[in-house]
Amino acid sequence: MTENKYVLKWLEEMKSLCRPDQLVWIDGSEEQLEALREESVATGEMIKLNQEKLPGCYYHRTAVNDVARVEDRTFICTPTKEEAGPINNWMDPEEMYAKLNALYDGSMEGRTMYVIPYSMGPVGSPFSKIGIELTDSIYVVLNMAIMTRVGKAILDIIDGDDFTKCLHAKKDVNPDERYIVHFPQDNTIMSVNSAYGGNVLLGKKCFALRIASYLGKQEGWMAEHMLILGLENPQGEVKYIAAAFPSACGKTNLAMLIPPEYLKEKGYKIWTVGDDIAWLRIGPDGRLYAINPEAGFFGVAPGTSEKTNFNALESTKKNTIFTNVAINNDDMTVWWEGLDKNPPANCTEWTGKQVNGKEFDGVLANPNSRFTAPAINCPCISPEFENPQGVPISAIVFGGRRAKTAPLVYQARDWEHGVFVGATMASETTAAAAGAVGVVRRDPMAMKPFVGYNMADYFGHWLDMGKKMDADKAPKIFHVNWFRKDEDNNFLWPGFGDNMRVLLWILDRCEGKADAVESAIGLLPAEGAIDTTDLDITAEQLKELLSVDKDVWMGDVENQKEYFSQFGDRLPAEITKQLENLENNLK
């Protein structure tokens, strides 16, 4: 398939380490993928769903101990611990290679090694990067074929040794010997003993965020945990927003939002460019441009319904792989909590157990069950999705789940303040990563689990990017919180489609059109600046949503200080200065 000597040399080394029975190159052809689907059904790795109702759709179940990203088993192995920083797990590269080589040794005996050449980003785009993943899992091959651009055409454009080396072996999914390891300086990723998407689709979190953030720092661009959407106004002009929220906090929903009826009637529309990852570069005109390096959506199924996210649901109606949802045995379709109110009576729960879904008192679908759907299935996929130059970003939005602290929306005063707002992001944890759910943790730029180097240097890189753009060209930075709760623990904001109202204020601010008022934390919408037409919300509720409780914020400042202290003097002075400003403003 290739004459590239760097590819062939590495492949030989990995082959002699893993010792597969055979090697199969993934050429990207539909015939080959179809043959693999058939093979995976024959071996039980995948289940074929109802081909009339869900054409081209398949089902996969992971081991019960292997349903989420494992942050405590994820390592950044830089030559020194300092380079990985205090947030990442670190091990000396030599020691880690020795440990991993022992685990991979003979791990593919009796198995097939698949070679997947793939591009993150449109093939040949100046933003794009190439990887090759070696895996012994057909599930991984089929998911990668949805999530990335795979095949022979990619091999043909590799320039020398400029590709990311990715090795995955499923082994026996032993959680005690599960490792997801990155060697940024070697452009290498090694994953072993897992078959869960976030740990094994190595183009996604491992490459497009951890390795890419490291490359971005070296090369002067950014890899971020961000959705990208285009908002079209009634005049047909489209403005683009990139938004970072932690895992399972609604990036996919926001990216595919359907505007409230009265805005739809006026002609407003949302276009989806990406739902999880953005690669950003400064363009020739000095503005920041973004591409989505992925080709599909690896979305959280529970909670996705016609009402909450019509477009995501539509995206899953064909050529989709479902993982760890429930199966309706009567017609071989899928079900999850929040899809509708009718769990199937004759049901296979995600673990494989046969249950009466109507009477079952547990959850039928794993809370982190997923769909892997081609982006082109999405009814609102942006016409710019394949644009190799990306789309110009007007606003960057940070957000998280905060019951009490953050208001519905506020604007940072300038880029430097915006970086601070991103750096102080925090959110209540979700099921996307193993561990307790609902605990507040600091998650700078939603990148806590994904920065491939020292987080303090990452803040510095953000600040540097701002210095390279004129203030009038750089995106404006905002923070949103859809999850604010009242005294009785009820959400104050309806969320979903109504989030459009906040996006409109944001874009109006970018054009100097909407009013804002100064507050201790930044610029809040002025009274009446957020359009609440047709919305069932009282003036008091809106006031509460936009309120800043100084005591609660002072508590957060203490937590921010403690958090930042771990970076020592590597923390950029600008961050310290912003923290002091905030504290003074609150006093």
* Positions marked active-site: 249
* Count of residues that interact with Mn ion, criterion CB under 5 A: 2
Cβ 371 vs Cβ 314: under 8 Å: no
Angle at 582 between CA 579 and CA 585, to 5 degrees: 150
Number of residues that bind ligand OXD (CB under 6 A): 6
In whole angstroms, give the CA distance from residue 188 to residue 93: 11
Task: Note whether 432 binds ligand OXD by CB under 6 A.
Answer: yes
Q: Which residue has the tokens 């679908």?
A: 365
Nearest distance, CB of residue 224 and Mn ion, angstroms: 11
Q: Cα(465)–Cα(289) distance, rounded to whole angstroms?
A: 12
- Residue burial 379-398, b: 16+ Cβ < 10 Å; e: rest: ebbbebbbeeebbbbbbbbb
Contact partner at residue 131 from Mn ion, ligand OXD, none, CB < 5 to 8 Å by partner kind: none
Stretch 19-78 residues interacting with ligand OXD (CB under 6 A): 69
Residue ranges of the alpha helices (H) in 333-476? Answer: 415-423, 455-467
- Token pair belonging to 454: 């020292």
- Is 276 a residue that touches ligand OXD (CB under 6 A)? yes
Q: Which two tokens stand for residue 332?
A: 């071989």
Least separation, in Å, of the C-beta of 404 and Mn ion?
25
Do residues 68 and 198 touch, judged by C-beta distance below 8 A? yes
Q: What secondary structure letter does DSSP report for 204?
A: I
| Minimum CB–partner distance for residue 200 and ligand OXD (Å) | 12
Site for ligand OXD (CB under 6 A): which residue of 59, 183, 298, 459? 298
Rounded least distance, CB 73 to Mn ion, Å: 18
| Positions in 93-152 near ligand OXD (CB under 6 A) | none
Q: Using CA atoms, how far apart are residues 443 and 432, in angstroms rounded to an integer? A: 14
Q: Does 293 bind ligand OXD (CB under 6 A)?
A: no
Least CB distance from residue 299 to ligand OXD, whole Å?
Answer: 8
> Does residue 578 touch Mn ion according to CB under 5 A?
no
Exposed, middle or buried, 121 (CB in 10 Å: 0-12/13-18/19+)? buried
Out of ligand OXD, Mn ion, none, what residue 69 binds, judged by CB under 5 to 8 A for its kind, is ligand OXD
The region of 57-65, 268-276, 367-375, 558-566 touching Mn ion under the rule CB under 5 A is 268-276
Query: What is the three-class DSSP state of 147?
Result: helix
Closer of 198 and 572 to ligand OXD (Cβ)? 198
Is 443 a residue that touches Mn ion (CB under 5 A)?
A: no
Q: Is 445 left (phi over 0), alpha (psi -120 to 50) or beta?
A: left
Please choose which of ligand OXD, Mn ion, none residue 364 contacts, taking the beta carbon within 5 to 8 angstroms, the exact cut-off set by kind: none
Residue 410 φ then ψ, to 5°: -150, 160
203 forms part of the interface with ligand OXD (CB under 6 A)? no
Residue 188 CB, shortest distance to ligand OXD, in Å, is: 22
Q: Verify binding: residue 315, ligand OXD, rule CB under 6 A.
A: no
Nearer to ligand OXD, 226 or 347 (CB): 226
Could you tell me the two tokens for 60? 């996969």
* Residue 247 is a binding residue for ligand OXD (CB under 6 A): yes
Among 125, 137, 247, 427, the residue binding Mn ion under the rule CB under 5 A is: 247
298 binds, among ligand OXD, Mn ion, none (CB under 5 to 8 A by kind): ligand OXD
> To the nearest whole angstrom, how small is the minimum distance from the Cβ of residue 432 to ligand OXD?
4
CA angle in degrees (0–180, nearest 5) for 439-370-479 = 45
Near ligand OXD by CB under 6 A: residue from 117, 122, 198, 367: 198
Q: Considering the complex, state which of residue 276 and residue 384 has its C-beta at the smaller distance from Mn ion.
A: 276
The β-bridge partners of 149 are: 119
Under a CB-based contact definition with an 8 Å cutoff, are residues 330 and 68 in contact? no
Which stretches of 195-329 are assigned E, i.e. beta strand?
A: 222-224, 226-232, 238-244, 269-274, 278-282, 288-291, 296-300, 321-323, 326-328
Q: Does 276 bind Mn ion (CB under 5 A)?
A: yes
Whichever of 70 and 542 has its CB closer to ligand OXD, that residue is 70
Nearest CB to Mn ion, comparing residues 69 and 417: 69
Joined together, the tokens standing for residue 282 give 């400064």
Query: Of all residues in this chain, which one has the CB nearest to ligand OXD in the complex?
Result: 247
Q: Give the residue from 408, 405, 363, 378 showing the smallest Cα distance to 313.
A: 378
Q: Which residues contact 324 (CB under 8 A, 6 or more apart)?
A: 60, 61, 62, 67, 350, 365, 366, 368, 369, 370
> Judged by CB, which is closer to ligand OXD: 247, or 382?
247
Give least dist CB 247 to Mn ion, A.
5
- Binding region for Mn ion (CB under 5 A): 247, 276
- Binding region for ligand OXD (CB under 6 A): 69, 198, 247, 276, 298, 432
